Amino acid sequence: MKQFISAYDVGDIDALVQQALHYKAHPMADASLGTGKRIGLLFLNPSLRTRLSTQLAARNLGMEPIVFNMGSEGWQIELEDGAVMNGSSIEHIKDAAPVLGSYFDILCVRTFPSLTDREADYSEPLLSKLIRYAGVPVVSLESATLHPLQSLADVVTISEAFREARRPKVVLTWAPHIKPIPQCVANSFAQWMGVWGGADFVITHPEGYDLAPQFAGSAPIIHNQQEALEGADFVYVKNWSSYKDYGKLLSTDPSWMLTQQSLQPSNNARVMHCLPVRRNVELSDEVLDGPHSIVTQQAANRLCSAQAVLAEILKGGTS
Ligand code: CP
């Protein structure tokens, strides 16, 4: 694997899932694979799970992780080719990226969308230029449009939790939030469901919340949440702001919050959320604290998933 920014960077998702589950059972199985190698984690936005699980994953492989809170401790990076840098940017990405590439064997970065300029956000300017100029493998720790480490952990969690000899029905449901949230987790989950192909996947959201077509793919869209949840084995709860009316909060309808009552039509569904979650806005306490919730398992699987990705990059493998 040369980079990890989307589902299309993975040759065989099922093999990568099995590798992650192997590392979950045997975290130190490849403890010297990354000996002498360094991994840089650049954060332009805060993180709890991604930041900690990726560092732990690197350590399990013998790598030295170094975190740089670029958003709060770094200076503004210029991304425009040919820019006359007489404004607020201090350093051009063409200069910074090769330096970072000379310090690290793998570079990881978390970026965030503006939610005001769709075209700019969806062109992933920082991520794409880091890939172009760093000269080392780049791993997305969440970008403007996708969150592949989260999505791999989501597929690992579904694969681990579902032991029946049939395909599970997986529903991604929009949930209310108090402020506009990026589309990346929902985009990414939809993309991975489509590329993985191991589930019958349905998306439900209010009118106006269609995901970008390149990520939603051919998944059925149902605007009635109760209808969508009929027979569901897994319900993935997530808010996202509008893609069409870009970055806008079009609805805060509390009836979309997932409750024990709204789970009734499901097949005793297990409930997922990437966290952090707004309790009693997106998901009710009774669901989060009840037997249906697998959110902690899902977050725990971030570690073995990141370890599988880093190991594939270190090995230069294709799964
Ligand atoms: N789900 C997720 O990416 O969590 P963090 O923002 O805490 O990393």
Residue 318: its pLDDT value, please? 56
| Atom 7, ligand 1: residue with shortest CA distance | 48
**DSSP string over 181-200:** --SHHHHHHHHHHHHH--SE
Which strands form 234-238's sheet, in the order they lie side by side?
221-222, 200-204, 169-174, 234-238, 270-272
CB 247 within 8 A of CB 116: yes
DSSP character for 210? P
| 178 in contact with ligand 1, CB cutoff 6 A | no
**Distance between CA atoms of 298 and 139, rounded to whole angstroms?**
20
Task: Give the residue from 150, 115, 133, 116 showing the smallest Cα distance to 5.
Answer: 150
Q: Residue 161: which of 48, 57, 296, 54 has the closest Cα?
A: 296
Nearest-angstrom CA–CA distance, 192 and 286: 29
Tell me the CA–centroid distance for residue 84 and ligand 1, in Å. 36
Q: Is the CB of 301 under 6 A from ligand 1?
A: no
Query: How far does the centroid of ligand 1 lie from the alpha carbon of residue 81, in Å?
Result: 31
How far is 197 from 239, CA to CA, in rounded Å? 23
Ligand 1 center to 28 CA (angstroms): 24
Cα 40 to Cα 43: distance, rounded to the nearest angstrom: 10
| Nearest atom (ligand 1) to Cα of 45 | 6
- Rounded CA separation 242/250 (Å): 7
Q: What pLDDT shows up at residue 198?
A: 97
> Does any ligand 1 atom lie closer than 6 A to the CB of residue 47?
yes
- Provide the pLDDT for residue 317: 64
pLDDT tens sequence for the chain (319 residues) = 999 999 999 999 999 999 999 999 999 999 999 999 999 999 999 999 999 999 999 999 999 999 999 999 999 999 999 999 999 999 999 999 999 999 999 999 999 999 999 999 999 999 999 999 999 999 999 999 999 999 999 999 999 999 999 999 999 999 999 999 999 999 999 999 999 999 999 999 999 999 999 999 999 999 999 999 999 999 999 999 999 999 999 999 999 999 999 999 999 999 999 999 999 999 999 999 999 999 999 999 999 999 999 999 999 865 5
| Ligand 1 proximity of 152 Cβ (cutoff 6 Å) | no
Q: Determine whether 88 is exposed, middle or buried from the number of CB atoms within 10 Å of its CB (0-12, 13-18, 19+).
A: exposed
Which of ligand 1's atoms lies nearest the C-alpha of 48?
7
Q: Distance of alpha carbon 244 from its chain centroid, rounded?
A: 21
* Whole-angstrom distance, CA of residue 282 vs CA of residue 117: 26
Backbone angles phi, psi at 279, to 5 degrees: -60, 140
List the residue whose alpha carbon is closest to atom 3 of ligand 1: 50
Please report, for residues 43, 235, 268, the alpha-carbon distance to residue 265 in angstroms, rounded to integers and kept in the order given: 40, 11, 8
Atom 4 (ligand 1) nearest CA: 49
**Ligand 1 in contact with 48 (CB < 6 A)?**
yes
Q: In Å, how far are 41, 63, 131, 218, 302 from 106, measured between CA atoms?
A: 9, 10, 11, 34, 18
Whether the pTM exceeds 0.85: the reply is: yes
Which of 41, 47, 143 best tests ligand 1's pocket when mutated (most atoms within 8 Å of CB)?
47
Residue whose CB lies within 8 A of the most ligand 1 atoms, among 41, 42, 48, for a mutation test: 48
β-partners of residue 272 are 236
- State whether the beta carbon of 305 lies less than 6 angstroms from ligand 1: no
What is the structure's pLDDT at 113? 97
* Three-class DSSP labels, 160-173: HHCCCCCCCEEEEE
- Ligand 1 centroid–CA 155 distance in Å is 16
